[in-house]
Structure 1
Amino acid sequence: MKLIRGLQNLKSHLNSVVTIGNFDGVHLGHQKIILRLVEKSKKMGVPSVLISFSPTPQSFFGYEQASLSSFKEKHTLLSALGLDIHLVIHFNQSFSQLEAQDFVQEILLNKLGMKHCLIGDDFRFGKNRKGDFTLLQNLSKAQGFTVEKTPSVLHNNCRISSSKARSLLKQGELQSAAQILGREFSITGKIIHGLKNGRNIGFPTINIPIKRKISPIHGIFAVIVELDGATYQGVCSIGNRPVIGDTKTLLEVFLFDFNREVYGLEANTIFKHKIRDERNFDNFSTLKKQIELDVADAKKYFD
Protein backbone atom coordinates (compact mmCIF):
# COMPACT_ATOMS: atom_id res chain seq x y z
CA MET A 1 0.00 0.00 0.00
CA LYS A 2 1.34 3.39 -1.03
CA LEU A 3 1.22 6.20 1.54
CA ILE A 4 0.65 9.75 0.29
CA ARG A 5 0.95 12.49 2.91
CA GLY A 6 -0.79 15.69 1.90
CA LEU A 7 -2.67 16.83 -1.18
CA GLN A 8 0.48 18.57 -2.44
CA ASN A 9 2.04 15.14 -2.95
CA LEU A 10 -0.96 13.73 -4.79
CA LYS A 11 -0.61 13.29 -8.52
CA SER A 12 -3.77 13.12 -10.58
CA HIS A 13 -5.18 9.64 -11.16
CA LEU A 14 -7.23 8.71 -14.19
CA ASN A 15 -9.55 6.42 -12.25
CA SER A 16 -10.05 5.15 -8.69
CA VAL A 17 -12.54 3.87 -6.15
CA VAL A 18 -12.58 5.83 -2.92
CA THR A 19 -13.62 5.64 0.73
CA ILE A 20 -13.23 8.39 3.33
CA GLY A 21 -13.09 8.48 7.13
CA ASN A 22 -10.93 8.50 10.26
CA PHE A 23 -10.81 4.70 10.60
CA ASP A 24 -9.52 4.88 14.19
CA GLY A 25 -8.81 1.34 15.37
CA VAL A 26 -9.76 -0.20 11.99
CA HIS A 27 -12.56 -2.16 13.71
CA LEU A 28 -14.85 -4.75 12.10
CA GLY A 29 -17.14 -2.07 10.70
CA HIS A 30 -14.20 -0.34 9.03
CA GLN A 31 -12.91 -3.66 7.74
CA LYS A 32 -16.25 -4.39 6.06
CA ILE A 33 -16.09 -1.08 4.18
CA ILE A 34 -12.45 -1.55 3.16
CA LEU A 35 -12.83 -5.15 2.00
CA ARG A 36 -15.84 -4.13 -0.08
CA LEU A 37 -13.76 -1.27 -1.55
CA VAL A 38 -10.93 -3.65 -2.47
CA GLU A 39 -13.45 -6.04 -4.02
CA LYS A 40 -14.93 -3.20 -6.10
CA SER A 41 -11.44 -2.02 -7.07
CA LYS A 42 -10.51 -5.42 -8.49
CA LYS A 43 -13.83 -5.75 -10.29
CA MET A 44 -13.45 -2.34 -11.96
CA GLY A 45 -9.71 -2.71 -12.53
CA VAL A 46 -8.79 0.61 -10.88
CA PRO A 47 -6.81 1.49 -7.71
CA SER A 48 -8.50 1.60 -4.29
CA VAL A 49 -7.91 4.82 -2.33
CA LEU A 50 -8.62 5.34 1.37
CA ILE A 51 -8.66 8.96 2.56
CA SER A 52 -8.04 9.78 6.23
CA PHE A 53 -7.19 13.01 8.04
CA SER A 54 -4.40 14.29 10.29
CA PRO A 55 -5.26 15.66 12.73
CA THR A 56 -8.77 14.27 12.89
CA PRO A 57 -11.54 16.85 12.41
CA GLN A 58 -12.66 16.23 16.01
CA SER A 59 -9.19 17.02 17.33
CA PHE A 60 -8.86 20.10 15.12
CA PHE A 61 -12.12 21.54 16.45
CA GLY A 62 -11.10 20.87 20.06
CA TYR A 63 -13.08 17.69 20.72
CA GLU A 64 -10.04 15.61 21.64
CA GLN A 65 -10.73 11.95 22.30
CA ALA A 66 -8.73 8.82 23.04
CA SER A 67 -7.15 7.16 20.00
CA LEU A 68 -7.53 3.43 19.48
CA SER A 69 -4.48 3.38 17.22
CA SER A 70 -1.42 5.49 16.56
CA PHE A 71 -0.86 6.54 12.96
CA LYS A 72 1.70 3.76 12.44
CA GLU A 73 -0.61 1.14 13.96
CA LYS A 74 -3.52 2.29 11.79
CA HIS A 75 -1.41 2.29 8.64
CA THR A 76 -0.17 -1.23 9.38
CA LEU A 77 -3.73 -2.49 9.90
CA LEU A 78 -4.89 -0.85 6.68
CA SER A 79 -1.97 -2.31 4.73
CA ALA A 80 -3.06 -5.84 5.68
CA LEU A 81 -6.46 -5.34 4.00
CA GLY A 82 -5.18 -5.06 0.43
CA LEU A 83 -5.63 -1.33 -0.25
CA ASP A 84 -3.61 0.34 -2.99
CA ILE A 85 -3.30 3.91 -1.67
CA HIS A 86 -3.66 5.59 1.72
CA LEU A 87 -4.05 9.35 1.24
CA VAL A 88 -3.64 11.41 4.41
CA ILE A 89 -5.07 14.93 4.11
CA HIS A 90 -3.76 17.56 6.51
CA PHE A 91 -6.85 18.94 8.21
CA ASN A 92 -6.34 22.67 8.79
CA GLN A 93 -8.39 25.87 8.87
CA SER A 94 -8.37 26.23 5.08
CA PHE A 95 -9.48 22.64 4.47
CA SER A 96 -12.18 22.89 7.15
CA GLN A 97 -13.85 25.64 5.13
CA LEU A 98 -14.04 23.60 1.93
CA GLU A 99 -17.65 23.09 0.91
CA ALA A 100 -18.74 19.48 0.51
CA GLN A 101 -19.52 19.89 -3.19
CA ASP A 102 -16.09 21.49 -3.80
CA PHE A 103 -14.39 18.62 -1.95
CA VAL A 104 -16.06 16.15 -4.30
CA GLN A 105 -15.19 18.14 -7.42
CA GLU A 106 -11.67 19.35 -6.61
CA ILE A 107 -10.27 16.32 -4.83
CA LEU A 108 -12.35 13.23 -5.49
CA LEU A 109 -13.03 13.92 -9.17
CA ASN A 110 -10.25 16.23 -10.41
CA LYS A 111 -7.41 14.70 -8.38
CA LEU A 112 -8.47 11.07 -7.94
CA GLY A 113 -10.67 10.53 -10.96
CA MET A 114 -13.20 8.83 -8.70
CA LYS A 115 -15.45 6.32 -10.45
CA HIS A 116 -17.03 4.81 -7.35
CA CYS A 117 -17.39 6.08 -3.77
CA LEU A 118 -18.08 3.81 -0.80
CA ILE A 119 -18.90 5.29 2.63
CA GLY A 120 -20.37 4.26 5.96
CA ASP A 121 -24.04 5.03 6.54
CA ASP A 122 -23.27 7.78 9.09
CA PHE A 123 -20.45 9.54 7.25
CA ARG A 124 -20.49 13.35 6.92
CA PHE A 125 -17.96 15.61 5.20
CA GLY A 126 -17.27 19.17 4.07
CA LYS A 127 -17.84 22.52 5.77
CA ASN A 128 -20.34 22.21 8.63
CA ARG A 129 -20.63 18.49 7.83
CA LYS A 130 -23.15 19.20 5.07
CA GLY A 131 -21.90 16.43 2.79
CA ASP A 132 -23.57 13.05 3.05
CA PHE A 133 -24.69 10.06 1.00
CA THR A 134 -27.63 11.98 -0.50
CA LEU A 135 -25.33 14.74 -1.77
CA LEU A 136 -23.01 12.18 -3.35
CA GLN A 137 -25.98 10.47 -5.00
CA ASN A 138 -27.18 13.76 -6.49
CA LEU A 139 -23.72 14.68 -7.80
CA SER A 140 -23.09 11.23 -9.18
CA LYS A 141 -25.80 11.55 -11.80
CA ALA A 142 -24.12 14.51 -13.49
CA GLN A 143 -20.49 13.61 -12.82
CA GLY A 144 -20.50 10.00 -13.97
CA PHE A 145 -19.56 8.12 -10.80
CA THR A 146 -21.46 5.65 -8.65
CA VAL A 147 -21.90 5.74 -4.89
CA GLU A 148 -22.59 3.05 -2.33
CA LYS A 149 -23.05 3.00 1.44
CA THR A 150 -22.49 0.10 3.78
CA PRO A 151 -24.97 -0.55 6.60
CA SER A 152 -23.75 -0.60 10.19
CA VAL A 153 -22.16 -3.80 11.45
CA LEU A 154 -23.84 -5.03 14.64
CA HIS A 155 -22.50 -6.95 17.61
CA ASN A 156 -25.00 -8.13 20.23
CA ASN A 157 -27.57 -5.89 18.51
CA CYS A 158 -25.36 -2.83 19.06
CA ARG A 159 -23.70 -0.82 16.31
CA ILE A 160 -19.95 -1.37 16.07
CA SER A 161 -18.12 1.95 16.33
CA SER A 162 -14.84 3.44 17.52
CA SER A 163 -16.77 5.19 20.31
CA LYS A 164 -18.14 1.85 21.55
CA ALA A 165 -14.65 0.31 21.51
CA ARG A 166 -13.27 3.27 23.50
CA SER A 167 -16.05 2.92 26.07
CA LEU A 168 -15.40 -0.80 26.55
CA LEU A 169 -11.66 -0.30 26.91
CA LYS A 170 -12.18 2.48 29.44
CA GLN A 171 -14.34 0.09 31.49
CA GLY A 172 -11.69 -2.64 31.29
CA GLU A 173 -13.95 -4.86 29.15
CA LEU A 174 -11.07 -6.14 27.05
CA GLN A 175 -12.74 -9.20 25.55
CA SER A 176 -15.85 -7.28 24.50
CA ALA A 177 -13.63 -4.63 22.91
CA ALA A 178 -11.72 -7.37 21.07
CA GLN A 179 -14.98 -8.64 19.56
CA ILE A 180 -15.61 -5.17 18.10
CA LEU A 181 -12.03 -4.57 16.95
CA GLY A 182 -11.60 -8.05 15.51
CA ARG A 183 -8.43 -8.54 17.55
CA GLU A 184 -7.16 -8.00 21.08
CA PHE A 185 -6.26 -4.39 21.86
CA SER A 186 -2.53 -3.73 21.76
CA ILE A 187 -0.03 -0.87 21.74
CA THR A 188 3.16 -0.94 19.71
CA GLY A 189 6.21 1.25 20.27
CA LYS A 190 9.96 1.43 20.66
CA ILE A 191 11.45 0.79 24.08
CA ILE A 192 13.07 3.88 25.63
CA HIS A 193 15.17 4.59 28.71
CA GLY A 194 13.13 5.33 31.81
CA LEU A 195 13.92 6.73 35.25
CA LYS A 196 15.03 3.27 36.51
CA ASN A 197 12.75 3.56 39.57
CA GLY A 198 11.31 0.09 38.95
CA ARG A 199 14.79 -1.40 38.86
CA ASN A 200 15.61 0.23 42.20
CA ILE A 201 12.72 -1.60 43.91
CA GLY A 202 13.30 -4.96 42.23
CA PHE A 203 10.90 -4.62 39.30
CA PRO A 204 12.80 -3.42 36.21
CA THR A 205 10.43 -2.39 33.44
CA ILE A 206 10.54 -1.76 29.74
CA ASN A 207 9.16 1.69 28.93
CA ILE A 208 7.15 2.49 25.82
CA PRO A 209 5.90 6.02 25.01
CA ILE A 210 2.26 6.34 23.99
CA LYS A 211 2.06 7.81 20.47
CA ARG A 212 -1.29 9.51 21.03
CA LYS A 213 -2.50 12.48 23.05
CA ILE A 214 -5.02 10.45 25.03
CA SER A 215 -4.81 6.73 25.76
CA PRO A 216 -8.09 4.77 25.65
CA ILE A 217 -6.86 2.50 28.42
CA HIS A 218 -5.48 3.17 31.92
CA GLY A 219 -4.59 1.01 34.89
CA ILE A 220 -2.73 -2.17 35.72
CA PHE A 221 -3.01 -5.15 33.35
CA ALA A 222 -1.81 -8.68 32.71
CA VAL A 223 -0.21 -8.51 29.28
CA ILE A 224 1.65 -10.49 26.66
CA VAL A 225 4.55 -8.69 24.96
CA GLU A 226 5.82 -9.62 21.52
CA LEU A 227 9.48 -8.65 21.39
CA ASP A 228 12.30 -9.57 19.03
CA GLY A 229 10.52 -12.67 17.69
CA ALA A 230 9.51 -14.01 21.11
CA THR A 231 6.54 -13.58 23.46
CA TYR A 232 6.65 -12.88 27.20
CA GLN A 233 4.09 -12.65 29.96
CA GLY A 234 4.09 -9.68 32.28
CA VAL A 235 2.22 -7.04 34.21
CA CYS A 236 2.01 -3.46 33.00
CA SER A 237 1.01 -0.05 34.17
CA ILE A 238 -0.33 2.49 31.73
CA GLY A 239 -0.93 5.94 33.14
CA ASN A 240 0.70 9.03 34.60
CA ARG A 241 2.80 7.41 37.36
CA PRO A 242 1.33 9.54 40.20
CA VAL A 243 3.86 8.26 42.75
CA ILE A 244 6.53 10.37 41.03
CA GLY A 245 4.18 13.21 40.13
CA ASP A 246 4.38 12.68 36.37
CA THR A 247 1.76 13.97 33.94
CA LYS A 248 2.91 12.20 30.76
CA THR A 249 1.19 8.91 29.93
CA LEU A 250 3.65 6.03 29.71
CA LEU A 251 3.40 2.27 29.29
CA GLU A 252 5.68 0.37 31.70
CA VAL A 253 5.90 -3.42 31.62
CA PHE A 254 7.54 -5.81 34.07
CA LEU A 255 8.23 -9.03 32.19
CA PHE A 256 8.43 -12.31 34.07
CA ASP A 257 11.74 -14.20 33.92
CA PHE A 258 13.34 -11.57 31.69
CA ASN A 259 16.78 -9.98 31.92
CA ARG A 260 17.90 -8.34 28.66
CA GLU A 261 18.90 -4.91 27.37
CA VAL A 262 16.31 -4.15 24.68
CA TYR A 263 16.40 -0.36 24.28
CA GLY A 264 15.43 0.75 20.78
CA LEU A 265 13.61 -2.48 19.91
CA GLU A 266 9.93 -2.42 18.97
CA ALA A 267 7.54 -4.17 21.32
CA ASN A 268 3.85 -5.00 20.90
CA THR A 269 1.95 -5.08 24.19
CA ILE A 270 -1.28 -7.11 24.09
CA PHE A 271 -3.72 -6.36 26.91
CA LYS A 272 -5.24 -9.57 28.31
CA HIS A 273 -6.84 -8.77 31.69
CA LYS A 274 -7.36 -5.67 33.83
CA ILE A 275 -6.12 -6.11 37.40
CA ARG A 276 -6.99 -2.73 38.90
CA ASP A 277 -7.17 1.03 38.31
CA GLU A 278 -4.11 3.22 38.69
CA ARG A 279 -3.77 4.90 42.08
CA ASN A 280 -1.28 6.93 44.09
CA PHE A 281 1.07 5.67 46.81
CA ASP A 282 2.81 7.56 49.58
CA ASN A 283 6.23 6.12 48.82
CA PHE A 284 8.12 3.49 46.82
CA SER A 285 7.93 1.00 49.70
CA THR A 286 4.13 0.79 49.55
CA LEU A 287 4.29 0.82 45.75
CA LYS A 288 6.62 -2.19 45.83
CA LYS A 289 4.19 -4.13 48.03
CA GLN A 290 1.35 -3.39 45.63
CA ILE A 291 3.42 -4.42 42.60
CA GLU A 292 4.11 -7.76 44.32
CA LEU A 293 0.35 -8.27 44.61
CA ASP A 294 -0.19 -7.20 40.98
CA VAL A 295 2.45 -9.66 39.76
CA ALA A 296 0.81 -12.45 41.75
CA ASP A 297 -2.60 -11.56 40.26
CA ALA A 298 -1.18 -11.52 36.72
CA LYS A 299 0.54 -14.88 37.18
CA LYS A 300 -2.69 -16.30 38.59
CA TYR A 301 -4.53 -15.08 35.49
CA PHE A 302 -2.04 -16.73 33.15
CA ASP A 303 -2.10 -19.97 35.16
Structure 2
Amino acid sequence: MASLLTRMFLSLYCAFFLILSPASAEQEKSPEDLKVEQLFKKNDHLIVYGPASVTLGDQAHMTIQRGQSFIPPALARQAFEIFSKNSKTENLMGMVVPGLPGDEKVEDEWGAVVLYFTPIGFVRDDDAKSWQLNKLLDSIRASTEKSNEQKRAQGRPEQEVTGWVEPPHYDAHTHQLLWSIRVQDKGKPDTAYAAYNTAALGRYGMLNFLFATEAAKLPERKDLAAKLLGTIQFNDGKRYQDYAEGTDKVAEVGLAALIGGIAAKKLGLFAILVGVLAKWGKLVAGATVGLTALLKFRKKKKNA
Protein backbone atom coordinates (compact mmCIF):
# COMPACT_ATOMS: atom_id res chain seq x y z
CA MET A 1 0.00 0.00 0.00
CA ALA A 2 2.90 2.33 0.66
CA SER A 3 4.00 2.01 -2.95
CA LEU A 4 0.48 2.74 -4.19
CA LEU A 5 0.18 6.02 -2.30
CA THR A 6 3.72 7.02 -3.09
CA ARG A 7 3.19 6.48 -6.82
CA MET A 8 -0.04 8.44 -6.73
CA PHE A 9 1.38 11.46 -4.93
CA LEU A 10 4.58 11.44 -6.95
CA SER A 11 2.50 11.50 -10.11
CA LEU A 12 0.49 14.46 -8.87
CA TYR A 13 3.67 16.19 -7.71
CA CYS A 14 5.30 15.83 -11.12
CA ALA A 15 2.20 17.07 -12.91
CA PHE A 16 1.73 20.07 -10.65
CA PHE A 17 5.45 20.88 -10.67
CA LEU A 18 5.39 21.15 -14.43
CA ILE A 19 2.03 22.87 -14.73
CA LEU A 20 2.85 25.43 -12.08
CA SER A 21 6.36 26.29 -13.18
CA PRO A 22 7.12 30.03 -13.15
CA ALA A 23 7.35 30.02 -16.94
CA SER A 24 3.61 29.44 -17.27
CA ALA A 25 2.89 32.55 -15.24
CA GLU A 26 5.41 35.03 -16.62
CA GLN A 27 6.35 33.90 -20.13
CA GLU A 28 4.59 32.86 -23.31
CA LYS A 29 2.52 29.71 -23.20
CA SER A 30 4.49 26.53 -23.66
CA PRO A 31 3.50 23.86 -26.20
CA GLU A 32 2.13 21.84 -23.29
CA ASP A 33 -0.01 24.78 -22.14
CA LEU A 34 -1.51 25.10 -25.60
CA LYS A 35 -2.16 21.35 -25.83
CA VAL A 36 -4.05 21.41 -22.55
CA GLU A 37 -6.11 24.41 -23.61
CA GLN A 38 -7.03 22.66 -26.86
CA LEU A 39 -7.85 19.50 -24.94
CA PHE A 40 -10.37 21.31 -22.77
CA LYS A 41 -11.86 23.28 -25.63
CA LYS A 42 -12.38 20.09 -27.61
CA ASN A 43 -13.93 18.30 -24.63
CA ASP A 44 -15.86 21.15 -23.09
CA HIS A 45 -19.04 19.07 -23.35
CA LEU A 46 -17.57 16.75 -20.70
CA ILE A 47 -17.05 19.52 -18.13
CA VAL A 48 -19.87 19.78 -15.59
CA TYR A 49 -20.81 23.28 -14.43
CA GLY A 50 -22.51 23.83 -11.09
CA PRO A 51 -24.96 23.67 -9.59
CA ALA A 52 -24.87 19.95 -10.26
CA SER A 53 -24.33 16.52 -8.76
CA VAL A 54 -21.24 14.68 -10.00
CA THR A 55 -20.15 11.07 -9.59
CA LEU A 56 -16.84 10.09 -8.03
CA GLY A 57 -16.01 6.81 -9.71
CA ASP A 58 -18.06 3.92 -8.38
CA GLN A 59 -17.66 5.11 -4.81
CA ALA A 60 -19.70 8.24 -4.22
CA HIS A 61 -21.19 11.46 -5.53
CA MET A 62 -20.93 15.10 -4.51
CA THR A 63 -22.51 18.48 -5.26
CA ILE A 64 -20.80 21.47 -6.81
CA GLN A 65 -22.18 25.00 -6.64
CA ARG A 66 -22.54 27.80 -9.18
CA GLY A 67 -19.11 29.19 -9.95
CA GLN A 68 -17.56 25.72 -9.68
CA SER A 69 -16.91 23.29 -12.51
CA PHE A 70 -15.98 19.62 -12.38
CA ILE A 71 -13.26 18.17 -14.61
CA PRO A 72 -13.94 14.40 -14.93
CA PRO A 73 -11.03 12.07 -14.17
CA ALA A 74 -10.41 10.88 -17.74
CA LEU A 75 -10.06 14.46 -18.94
CA ALA A 76 -7.91 15.54 -15.98
CA ARG A 77 -5.73 12.48 -16.49
CA GLN A 78 -5.15 13.38 -20.15
CA ALA A 79 -4.07 16.87 -19.09
CA PHE A 80 -1.62 15.46 -16.55
CA GLU A 81 -0.16 13.10 -19.14
CA ILE A 82 0.59 16.01 -21.47
CA PHE A 83 3.00 17.32 -18.85
CA SER A 84 4.22 14.01 -17.49
CA LYS A 85 4.07 10.85 -19.58
CA ASN A 86 4.77 8.79 -16.46
CA SER A 87 1.78 10.09 -14.51
CA LYS A 88 0.01 7.24 -12.74
CA THR A 89 -3.27 8.74 -11.64
CA GLU A 90 -5.47 5.67 -11.61
CA ASN A 91 -7.02 6.82 -8.30
CA LEU A 92 -7.87 10.32 -9.54
CA MET A 93 -11.57 11.06 -9.10
CA GLY A 94 -11.58 14.44 -10.84
CA MET A 95 -10.96 18.11 -10.13
CA VAL A 96 -13.09 21.08 -9.10
CA VAL A 97 -12.01 24.49 -10.44
CA PRO A 98 -13.61 27.94 -10.82
CA GLY A 99 -15.87 28.11 -13.85
CA LEU A 100 -19.19 29.31 -15.23
CA PRO A 101 -21.16 27.97 -18.22
CA GLY A 102 -20.98 31.30 -20.05
CA ASP A 103 -18.30 33.89 -20.59
CA GLU A 104 -19.01 35.65 -17.29
CA LYS A 105 -16.10 36.25 -14.96
CA VAL A 106 -16.12 34.20 -11.76
CA GLU A 107 -16.07 36.19 -8.55
CA ASP A 108 -13.04 34.47 -7.04
CA GLU A 109 -10.19 32.60 -8.73
CA TRP A 110 -9.68 30.39 -5.68
CA GLY A 111 -7.51 27.75 -7.36
CA ALA A 112 -8.38 24.08 -7.67
CA VAL A 113 -9.32 21.00 -5.68
CA VAL A 114 -7.91 17.60 -6.61
CA LEU A 115 -10.05 14.62 -5.62
CA TYR A 116 -8.81 11.05 -5.34
CA PHE A 117 -9.77 7.75 -3.75
CA THR A 118 -7.29 5.89 -1.60
CA PRO A 119 -8.22 2.17 -1.45
CA ILE A 120 -6.48 1.38 1.83
CA GLY A 121 -9.46 -0.45 3.29
CA PHE A 122 -11.67 0.30 6.29
CA VAL A 123 -10.05 2.90 8.55
CA ARG A 124 -10.85 2.44 12.22
CA ASP A 125 -11.62 5.73 13.95
CA ASP A 126 -11.14 4.68 17.58
CA ASP A 127 -8.11 6.92 18.14
CA ALA A 128 -10.00 10.11 17.29
CA LYS A 129 -10.89 10.45 20.97
CA SER A 130 -7.29 10.43 22.14
CA TRP A 131 -5.56 12.76 19.67
CA GLN A 132 -2.70 14.87 21.01
CA LEU A 133 -2.63 17.83 18.64
CA ASN A 134 0.84 19.01 19.62
CA LYS A 135 2.33 15.61 18.86
CA LEU A 136 0.50 15.41 15.54
CA LEU A 137 1.81 18.83 14.55
CA ASP A 138 5.33 17.90 15.62
CA SER A 139 5.11 14.79 13.43
CA ILE A 140 4.08 16.84 10.41
CA ARG A 141 6.89 19.32 11.06
CA ALA A 142 9.43 16.51 11.36
CA SER A 143 8.25 15.06 8.05
CA THR A 144 8.50 18.47 6.43
CA GLU A 145 12.05 18.87 7.68
CA LYS A 146 12.87 15.46 6.26
CA SER A 147 11.62 16.58 2.85
CA ASN A 148 13.75 19.72 3.14
CA GLU A 149 16.89 17.62 2.90
CA GLN A 150 16.11 16.92 -0.74
CA LYS A 151 15.13 20.54 -1.37
CA ARG A 152 18.48 21.73 -0.05
CA ALA A 153 20.32 19.32 -2.30
CA GLN A 154 18.34 20.60 -5.30
CA GLY A 155 18.69 24.27 -4.39
CA ARG A 156 14.94 24.70 -3.91
CA PRO A 157 13.30 26.79 -1.15
CA GLU A 158 12.77 24.91 2.08
CA GLN A 159 9.33 24.80 3.66
CA GLU A 160 8.19 25.13 7.24
CA VAL A 161 4.88 24.41 8.97
CA THR A 162 4.02 27.25 11.32
CA GLY A 163 0.88 25.79 12.89
CA TRP A 164 -2.67 24.62 12.47
CA VAL A 165 -5.09 26.63 10.38
CA GLU A 166 -7.82 24.16 11.29
CA PRO A 167 -6.91 21.55 13.93
CA PRO A 168 -7.96 18.03 12.98
CA HIS A 169 -11.69 17.59 13.36
CA TYR A 170 -13.41 14.25 12.93
CA ASP A 171 -17.18 13.92 12.72
CA ALA A 172 -18.03 10.46 14.01
CA HIS A 173 -21.55 10.72 12.56
CA THR A 174 -20.55 11.50 8.99
CA HIS A 175 -17.13 9.80 9.24
CA GLN A 176 -15.42 12.81 7.74
CA LEU A 177 -12.09 14.32 8.69
CA LEU A 178 -10.71 17.79 7.96
CA TRP A 179 -7.52 19.54 8.93
CA SER A 180 -5.35 22.32 7.60
CA ILE A 181 -1.81 23.50 8.22
CA ARG A 182 -0.13 26.83 7.53
CA VAL A 183 2.93 26.43 5.32
CA GLN A 184 5.49 28.94 4.08
CA ASP A 185 8.99 29.22 2.66
CA LYS A 186 11.38 29.24 5.60
CA GLY A 187 11.54 32.69 7.14
CA LYS A 188 9.18 34.21 4.56
CA PRO A 189 5.71 34.88 6.04
CA ASP A 190 4.59 36.60 2.84
CA THR A 191 4.64 33.21 1.09
CA ALA A 192 2.27 31.61 3.60
CA TYR A 193 -0.67 29.53 2.43
CA ALA A 194 -3.18 27.20 4.01
CA ALA A 195 -2.98 23.55 2.96
CA TYR A 196 -6.23 21.67 3.44
CA ASN A 197 -6.52 17.90 3.41
CA THR A 198 -9.85 16.23 3.95
CA ALA A 199 -11.02 12.65 4.08
CA ALA A 200 -14.45 11.04 3.82
CA LEU A 201 -14.19 7.49 5.10
CA GLY A 202 -15.94 4.69 3.28
CA ARG A 203 -16.12 0.92 3.44
CA TYR A 204 -13.15 0.28 1.16
CA GLY A 205 -11.01 3.34 1.71
CA MET A 206 -11.27 7.09 1.78
CA LEU A 207 -12.08 9.93 -0.57
CA ASN A 208 -9.61 12.76 -0.16
CA PHE A 209 -9.09 16.11 -1.73
CA LEU A 210 -6.26 18.59 -1.66
CA PHE A 211 -6.94 22.31 -1.56
CA ALA A 212 -4.57 25.22 -0.97
CA THR A 213 -5.20 28.94 -0.79
CA GLU A 214 -3.05 31.95 0.02
CA ALA A 215 -3.21 32.98 3.67
CA ALA A 216 -4.34 36.52 2.89
CA LYS A 217 -7.47 35.17 1.17
CA LEU A 218 -8.24 32.57 3.81
CA PRO A 219 -11.16 34.33 5.57
CA GLU A 220 -13.38 34.27 2.46
CA ARG A 221 -12.19 30.89 1.20
CA LYS A 222 -11.81 28.73 4.30
CA ASP A 223 -15.33 27.30 4.10
CA LEU A 224 -14.81 25.93 0.58
CA ALA A 225 -13.10 22.74 1.73
CA ALA A 226 -15.65 22.01 4.44
CA LYS A 227 -18.61 22.69 2.18
CA LEU A 228 -17.33 20.42 -0.57
CA LEU A 229 -16.57 17.70 1.94
CA GLY A 230 -20.04 18.01 3.39
CA THR A 231 -21.67 17.21 0.04
CA ILE A 232 -19.90 13.85 -0.40
CA GLN A 233 -22.21 10.85 -0.12
CA PHE A 234 -20.97 7.30 -0.54
CA ASN A 235 -23.10 4.94 -2.63
CA ASP A 236 -25.12 2.18 -0.97
CA GLY A 237 -22.86 -0.71 -0.08
CA LYS A 238 -19.79 1.57 -0.09
CA ARG A 239 -20.62 3.53 3.05
CA TYR A 240 -18.59 3.37 6.25
CA GLN A 241 -21.47 1.72 8.08
CA ASP A 242 -21.65 -1.02 5.43
CA TYR A 243 -18.35 -2.49 6.69
CA ALA A 244 -18.46 -6.26 7.24
CA GLU A 245 -16.36 -7.34 10.21
CA GLY A 246 -14.12 -10.32 9.49
CA THR A 247 -14.65 -10.02 5.73
CA ASP A 248 -13.55 -6.57 4.60
CA LYS A 249 -9.96 -5.37 4.49
CA VAL A 250 -8.91 -3.15 7.39
CA ALA A 251 -6.38 -0.33 6.88
CA GLU A 252 -3.01 -0.72 8.56
CA VAL A 253 -3.21 2.80 10.01
CA GLY A 254 -5.77 4.78 12.00
CA LEU A 255 -6.88 8.40 11.79
CA ALA A 256 -4.00 9.80 13.80
CA ALA A 257 -1.52 8.06 11.53
CA LEU A 258 -3.20 9.54 8.48
CA ILE A 259 -2.68 13.02 9.91
CA GLY A 260 0.67 12.74 11.63
CA GLY A 261 4.13 11.41 11.22
CA ILE A 262 3.40 7.70 11.19
CA ALA A 263 1.62 7.99 7.86
CA ALA A 264 4.22 10.40 6.58
CA LYS A 265 7.03 7.96 7.35
CA LYS A 266 5.10 4.87 6.34
CA LEU A 267 3.39 6.18 3.23
CA GLY A 268 5.49 9.17 2.24
CA LEU A 269 2.32 11.24 2.41
CA PHE A 270 3.23 14.61 3.85
CA ALA A 271 6.71 14.85 2.36
CA ILE A 272 5.10 14.79 -1.08
CA LEU A 273 1.94 16.67 -0.11
CA VAL A 274 3.85 19.71 1.10
CA GLY A 275 5.90 19.69 -2.09
CA VAL A 276 2.72 19.69 -4.18
CA LEU A 277 1.11 22.47 -2.20
CA ALA A 278 4.26 24.58 -2.15
CA LYS A 279 3.95 24.95 -5.91
CA TRP A 280 0.18 25.18 -5.66
CA GLY A 281 0.40 28.07 -3.22
CA LYS A 282 2.39 30.07 -5.75
CA LEU A 283 -0.36 29.45 -8.27
CA VAL A 284 -3.10 30.73 -5.99
CA ALA A 285 -1.12 33.89 -5.32
CA GLY A 286 -1.05 34.44 -9.08
CA ALA A 287 -4.84 34.26 -9.24
CA THR A 288 -5.56 34.14 -12.97
CA VAL A 289 -2.48 32.28 -14.22
CA GLY A 290 -1.20 28.72 -14.12
CA LEU A 291 -3.52 25.83 -13.39
CA THR A 292 -6.68 27.90 -13.00
CA ALA A 293 -6.20 29.48 -16.41
CA LEU A 294 -5.46 26.13 -18.02
CA LEU A 295 -8.32 24.18 -16.50
CA LYS A 296 -10.99 26.84 -16.76
CA PHE A 297 -12.53 26.99 -20.21
CA ARG A 298 -15.74 28.95 -20.53
CA LYS A 299 -18.19 28.42 -23.33
CA LYS A 300 -18.85 31.30 -25.65
CA LYS A 301 -22.35 32.71 -25.45
CA LYS A 302 -24.45 31.69 -28.42
CA ASN A 303 -26.21 35.04 -28.45
CA ALA A 304 -24.75 38.49 -28.13
- TM-score computed with the length of structure 1 as normaliser: 0.26
TM-score (norm 2): 0.26
